[in-house]
Chains A and B, each alone.
Chain A
Amino acid sequence: MNREDFEMLKQDIIYFDNSATTLKPKSVVDSITDYYTKFTSNAHRGDYKTSLKVDTLYEGTRDKVKDFLNAESSNEIVFTSGTTNSLNMVVFGFAKYNLKPGDEVIITKTEHASNVLPWLELADELGIRIKYAPLDENLKLRTEDLLKVITPNTKIVSLAHVTNTVGDIRDLEGIGKMLKERNIYFVVDAAQSAGHRKIDVQKMNIDFLAFSAHKMCGPTGTGVLYGKEKLLEKMRPINYGGGMNNFFESDGSREYKSIPTLFEAGTQNIEGVIGLGAAIDYLEAIGFDEIEKHEKELRDYLIDKLSTIENIDVLNKNSEAGNVLFNIKGIFPQDTAIYLDHYNICVRAGNHCAKLLKEELGIKNTCRISLYLYNTKEEIDKLIETLKNSKNIFEVVI
């Protein structure tokens, strides 16, 4: 749907790499161009008309994000450079100062690198323990299985809402309730879900949540950290500098601003935040129910069709999101991706930044198709046709 809004689709390509980044609709691109052609100026310096306009748009996006996540207050919305940055802020700004040696953090082996490596670093630094919740036979996380690893020392559970590999959707509401009853902080990596389905941080009892604009029709280099107000109060900035202080003196005395500005030192990615605002408007106008329904229909169609091809292995037939992992039997996934690229079909080959998954899946690398609102059944038909004709793959890739 809405294909006409995407300039990229006017080229002869089939874009199936939406988990990596999505295409951008014209309204988002225009919002950024407008900033550079009509009202360029810095934010938070509202001394003249254009700068006031930038302020209004920048802070307006904060309010939009608040509603988008159903946060209690706009003070709970911090702009960051993306999910990776947001998660690092939680680990090195919050966990580092609020956990102690021996405390436990629970993640899973299907987490993205950005929800694994910061924790491993902190574990070395602080002496906390990182534990992996067990996954079921389809590599999904069952809510009740968390209880198998939770102990009185568990302080944080940090999970992707939707995994970028297996494509399972975690039951955030159930997990949030379970963790709240046990006084465990709940950190959510929503990189693959914001822009695909509705998130309600209050209903889901989420303490911190991270997402990236570029995976939801917005620009790269911009993201959000949501944190409950009382927790952001306990978090320390990672960056110090202009924009986040009230005063400082040569004797070392200083006072910082309050949240969320405290965490936005330096000139921010203003075009990015404005673009994120336009992306939220764009997606909300379509409606998350529609987007979810469309993705689900396409995914079922894709898995059905792929399953009819004899020499294709589908590795996550139970995918609940828009990602499907497959391999052509006996063909290295990169060769498959190069073959498909020859027909202008963009798919991703690799481990998709979930390097722990190989321990579970037994397969290091796969091809991944990830769907979004503008994909169509006709595109899937073309992919299927191309895969069916892949007997000549080496004539194409060599």
Chain B
Amino acid sequence: MEKELRREIILDNYQNPYNKKTIEDSSYIKINTNNESCIDNLDIYFKVEGGFIKDAGFNGEACAISTSATSIMLRGLIGKSISEVKELLKNYINMINEKEYDQDLLKELNVYDEIYLQPNRKNCALLPARAVEKMLKEIENAG
């Protein structure tokens, strides 16, 4: 992706993040993501119904990469089935870790395709992915 466009998308999602608000509705699953290697701290909310992500939002304090990645990812997840979410997640994590992935599937998330060049920011880009993983586990545990 072209550098300018990449930056524009990231910055736009940082400055105008998608659905950035606290959601106090018990039908949402709340996941706190505390990035161990840095100081990002976001609460992410997912509404899951009938095996689909119906809605998602987040709030908290985080750096430009974490915030934008969360914004882009959540927007991309809404409407997806759990199995689609798993597929997307796998491909996203692969991309961040320089492994094979399906570019078409990731759409706007491709803006992080060169984050591996800054190893100290990989965790920032992975922050929403860790939250989605936790969410999936909670759904599984809930049976």
Contact = CB atoms under 8 A, between A and B. Distances in A.
Nearest to B111: A398
Given A364-B61, A397-B64, A398-B65, A334 B11 contact: no
Contacts of A74: none
Contact of B38 (A334, A341, A395): A334
A398 B8 CA distance: 9
User: Which 4 pairs from chain A and chain B are nearest by CB?
Assistant: A334-B63, A350-B39, A332-B63, A398-B7
A305 B72 CA distance: 39
B40 interface: yes
A371 B131 CA distance: 37
A28 interface: no
Interface string B53-93: 00000000111110100000000000000000000000000
Nearest to A349: B39
B11 A394 contact: yes
A213 to B, nearest CB: 25
A319 B22 CA distance: 36
A200 interface: no
A93 interface: no
Interface in B1-45: 6-7, 10-11, 14, 38-41
Given A394-B7, A395-B7, A351 B64 contact: no
B7 A333 contact: no
Contacts of A333: 39
Contacts of B10: 394, 398
Contacts of A335: 63-64
B61 A365 contact: yes
Most buried by A among B7, B10, B39, B41: B39
18 contacts: A332-B61, A332-B63, A332-B67, A334-B39, A335-B63, A335-B64, A338-B121, A350-B38, A350-B39, A351-B39, A364-B41, A394-B10, A394-B11, A395-B7, A397-B64, A397-B65, A398-B10, A398-B65
A395 B6 CA distance: 11
A269 to B, nearest CB: 26
A397 B68 CA distance: 13
Contacts of B65: 397-398
B7 A332 contact: no
A395 B124 CA distance: 17
Interface string A349-368: 11100000000000011000
Contacts of B103: none
Contacts of B67: 332
A349 B62 CA distance: 12
Nearest to B9: A398
Interface of A: 332-335, 338, 341, 349-351, 364-365, 394-395, 397-398
B127 to A, nearest CB: 12
Contact of A332 (B6, B11, B62, B120): B62
Contacts of A394: 7, 10-11, 14, 64
Interface in B96-140: 118, 120-121, 124
A71 to B, nearest CB: 38
A335 B61 CA distance: 12
B102 to A, nearest CB: 24
Given A341-B120, A394-B11, A395-B7, 11 more contacts: A332-B67, A333-B39, A334-B40, A334-B124, A338-B63, A338-B118, A338-B121, A365-B39, A394-B14, A394-B64, A398-B10
Contacts of B62: 332
A398 B11 CA distance: 8
B62 to A, nearest CB: 7
A350 B62 CA distance: 11
Contacts of A395: 7
Contacts of A398: 6-7, 10-11, 64-65
Contacts of A349: 38-39
A334 B67 CA distance: 12
A82 B62 CA distance: 31
A338 B120 contact: yes
Most B CB atoms within 10 A — which of A338, A365, A395, A398? A398
Contacts of B41: 364
Contacts of B63: 332, 334-335, 338
A141 B6 CA distance: 48
Interface centre among B6, B11, B38, B120 (most CB of A within 10 A): B38
